Amino acid sequence: MAESEGADDRKPRSDEARSAFAAPPGVETAGPPEEEQPTSEFAVPEGLAAVPSEPEGSAFARPSTYSAQHSPPAYRPGHGFPVSPMTDSPWQDRMRTMLRMPVGERPVPEATKPEEGGPAVGRVLDLTLRIGELLLSGGESAEDVEAAMFAVSRSYGLDRCEPTVTFTMLSITHQPSLVANPVTASRTVRRRGTDYNRLAAVYRLVADLSTPDAGISMEEAYRRLAEIRRNRHPYPTWVLTAAAGLLAGAASTLVGGGVLVFFAAALGAVLGDRLAWLSAGRGLPEFYQFTVAAMPPAAIGVAMSLMHADVKSSAVITGGLFALLPGRALVAAVQDGLTGFYITAAARLLEVMYLFIGIIVGVLVVLYLGLQLGSPTDPENVLRITERPLVQIAASMVLVLTFAVLLQQERSTVLMVTLNGGVAWVIFGAMHYAGGIPPVPSTAVAAGVVGLFGQLLSRYRHTSALPYVTAAIGPLLPGSATYYGLLSIAENQLNKGLGSLINAVTVALAIAIGVNLGAEVSRLFLRIPGAAKRAAAKRTRGF
């Protein structure tokens, strides 16, 4: 009763309580004086103990009966509309789908790892960031990195997580409930390296963590992650150097070179590779590494021109360019842009531009010195490629094989990516040389086939698509157009040189867009449940 009265005393007295219900002056009240305000019908009768009430708090305070671990599902479908558990599709599709959902509509994790009390939130976020760091530094697209981070966090029961990926920064935020304080962790990616063997191992770890019945503990996940970091490269250094030489030699044969040109281009690429390693060991940025790596093939080509050798010396320089053009970074940049990660895409395109300019500087310095020494030039001969279908198909497959070795791919994937690259070159040759179709659409169609087959093979092997795509686009890179533009600029023909370089950039963009389009077309052949289809952004209609 006292608590009820105390609660009523805090209420403001209305005008009616002070006037209409007050006794008029001079009128005696019947009986003993009552309370100034009528007693509520819900008041506790006399003689009964009042049940102690909860202390008043903020409306945003967490209810005492709420538990984030045992909270109801964030999304409940309408009556008669069941929700697909999305367990029949690969984890990449499931995670991409849920990342595009609003937080309130995401299904809660199916199960939590059987650890006593559950792992600490900080350890889960740290493991998630370390896995994302390995994927991003290995060249994976921002969308796939976010999907992998989301899969790891959900596998340990964190159902309200938002990963964010940029070119050099990873962050993830976990909010246990609508009223709890969020927890945010971030990690900076400072070093990048190409090792698709390590990338495949990380994908296997994420796939195992995403399997509900795997039951991988936090300690086991950290142990496997440490093994992946300490994993030795599948190929020794001398094999990588030899692969760089064979790649340049095969590329020179692809654009019309003979046996002597093959060995000259291989020697130039080996020297350039060793100079790049030496520059890296001295701490020079990648810009200067690409600059010095482009000089030896150009110097050997200019030297053969000065000796008036009866060979296509321009093929030596073109072969060296094939080994340096950053096709992998370009494909990743365009893929990030097409999937909505514009900041990361812009940063990667800027990286491609710097590396491309480094190659241009290295080649132009050598070409200018050669012109000063009287080196004969024949720019029109650069784009004149002899059609040798069988030789070019074999050269393209050797180029893809050596490119796969340079990317540190698993030995089990080398054969499939070699066949994929050979098929791509056959399609390009049939359309461009036999059909007379311009190089840009021919390249786009061939790259689309690479993306289609690469995506299907990656889903069959439950791994990343990069090992099946990156090396296969090697024969399609615009090495001849790039060299023709550089030679024209060295001869002070700026309009012709810039036009050729723009053509090379157009071909490179056609490769990147074709690969991404082929990957999207592959979804038509995949069995993805209706609820697991990725939601797309709507057209802005100009505003």
Q: What is the mean pLDDT of the chain?
A: 78
Q: Which whole-number Å values give the CA distances from 100 to 49, 531, 533, 534, 535, in the listed order?
A: 54, 12, 10, 7, 6
Alpha-carbon span 56 to 169, nearest angstrom: 43
Q: How confident is the model at residue 442 (pLDDT cuts 50, 70, 90)?
A: very high
Residue 521: other Cβ atoms inside 10 A: 15
Q: How confident is the model at residue 504 (pLDDT cuts 50, 70, 90)?
A: confident
Percent of the chain having pLDDT more than 90?
Answer: 21
Which one is predicted more confidently, 255 or 376?
Answer: 255
CA neighbor of 285 nearest in space, from 361, 191, 363, 348:
191
| Token couple for 197 | 């063997």
Which one is predicted more confidently, 213 or 541?
Answer: 213
Q: How confident is the model at residue 424 (pLDDT cuts 50, 70, 90)?
A: very high
The region of weakest confidence among 110-124, 154-168, 222-236, 250-264 is 110-124
Q: Which whole-number Å values give the CA distances from 346 to 179, 199, 330, 350, in the listed order?
A: 36, 23, 11, 6
Average pLDDT over residues 114-143: 81
The region of weakest confidence among 101-105, 355-359, 432-436, 492-496 is 101-105
Alpha-carbon span 240 to 272, nearest angstrom: 13
Q: How confident is the model at residue 266 (pLDDT cuts 50, 70, 90)?
A: very high
Residue 277: other Cβ atoms inside 10 A: 15
Q: Which whole-number Å values give the CA distances from 131 to 137, 154, 211, 231, in the listed order?
A: 10, 14, 17, 15
Asked whether the beta carbons of 221 and 209 are under 8 A apart, the reply is yes
* pLDDT score, position 86: 41
- DSSP 8-state secondary structure symbol assigned to residue 161: E
Q: How confident is the model at residue 532 (pLDDT cuts 50, 70, 90)?
A: very low
pLDDT for 61 beyond 80? no
Place of tokens 């311009």: 438
Max avg pLDDT among 35-49, 169-183, 296-310, 422-436: 422-436
pLDDT tens, residue by residue, 272-292: 999 998 998 888 888 999 999
Q: How confident is the model at residue 299 (pLDDT cuts 50, 70, 90)?
A: very high
Phi-psi region of 454 (alpha: psi -120 to 50; beta: other; left: phi over 0): alpha
Asked whether the beta carbons of 482 and 504 are under 8 A apart, the reply is yes
Average pLDDT over residues 407-425: 91
- From the centroid of its chain, how far is CA 421? 22
pLDDT for 271 beyond 90? yes
The region of weakest confidence among 27-36, 78-87, 116-125, 402-411 is 78-87
Could you tell me the residue ranges of all domains in the chain? 1-56, 91-109+118-230, 237-525
φ, ψ for residue 334, nearest 5 deg: -65, -40
pLDDT for 23 beyond 80? no
φ, ψ for residue 184, nearest 5 deg: -125, 135
Per-residue b or e along 23-54, where b marks 16 or more CB atoms closer than 10 Å to that residue's CB: eeeeeeeeeeeeeeeeeeeeeeeeeeeeeeee
Average pLDDT over residues 253-267: 89
* pLDDT score, position 373: 85
Which one is predicted more confidently, 91 or 2?
Answer: 91
pLDDT for 56 beyond 70? no
* pLDDT score, position 446: 93
pLDDT for 68 beyond 80? no
pLDDT for 238 beyond 80? yes
* pLDDT score, position 445: 93
Which one is predicted more confidently, 70 or 489?
Answer: 489
CA neighbor of 387 nearest in space, from 437, 434, 345, 431:
434
* pLDDT score, position 393: 92
Alpha-carbon span 470 to 147, nearest angstrom: 20
Which one is predicted more confidently, 293 or 114?
Answer: 293
pLDDT tens, residue by residue, 319-372: 888 888 887 788 888 888 888 888 888 998 898 899 989 998 998 899 888 888
Helix ranges restricted to H, 282-377: 286-306, 314-322, 327-338, 342-372
**How far from each other are the two terminal CA atoms of the chain, in whole angstroms?**
63
Average pLDDT over residues 399-411: 91
The region of weakest confidence among 51-55, 169-173, 244-248, 368-372 is 51-55
Using a cut of 0.85, tell me whether the model's pTM lies above it.
Answer: no
Max avg pLDDT among 22-36, 351-365, 449-463, 487-501: 351-365
Q: How confident is the model at residue 62 (pLDDT cuts 50, 70, 90)?
A: very low
Q: How confident is the model at residue 11 (pLDDT cuts 50, 70, 90)?
A: very low
* pLDDT score, position 397: 94
pLDDT for 55 beyond 90? no
Strand order in the sheet with 183-188: 161-165, 169-174, 183-188
- From the centroid of its chain, how far is CA 91? 15
Pairing of strands 161-165, 183-188: unpaired
pLDDT for 110 beyond 80? no
| Token couple for 94 | 């499931």
pLDDT for 246 beyond 90? yes
Q: How confident is the model at residue 383 (pLDDT cuts 50, 70, 90)?
A: low
pLDDT for 26 beyond 50? yes
